[in-house]
Amino acid sequence: MTYELIVPPGIRRQIKTLPVTDQAELITLFDRLPTEHEQITEAYGQDVPGPVRMRTAGLSRLVAVLLISDNTVTITVVNLIDPLTR
């Protein structure tokens, strides 16, 4: 099943401020998420099965936090975290 990827406007603005290499890595991730989300992400916190769950995808410099809903067949980007700036 192919999920719809939702990137809220605030996250889109954040992506536009990132270096081009980070943007390219995110685009590659976003291309794969709709069909491979379980294979390329990890549980965020406890790995509790259910129709709605939080997952993360680690990139070179960023961590993408995602909300995956089987009920609405969507993947929503919740946050992009740069651990080096915290």
pTM (two decimals): 0.91
Residue type, 82: D
Residue 70 has pLDDT above 80, yes or no: yes
Total structural domains in the chain? 1
CATH of the domain at 16: 3.30.2310.20
Q: What is the DSSP string of 10-76?
A: HHHHHHHTS-HHHHHHHHHHHHHHHHHHHHH-EESSS---SSEEEEEEE-SS-EEEEEEETTTTEEE
pLDDT in tens, 14-68: 999 999 999 999 999 999 999 999 999 999 988 777 899 999 999 999 999 999 9
pLDDT tier for residue 1 given thresholds of 50, 70 and 90: confident
Q: List the domain range (segments joined by +) for residue 80.
A: 4-85
Q: Would you state the pLDDT for residue 9? A: 98
Give every CB contact of residue 27 below 8 A, 6+ residues apart in sequence.
Answer: none
Furthest CA-CA distance within the chain: 36
Which tokens in the block code for residue 65? 């936090």
Q: Note the pLDDT of residue 86.
A: 61
State the pLDDT at residue 30.
98
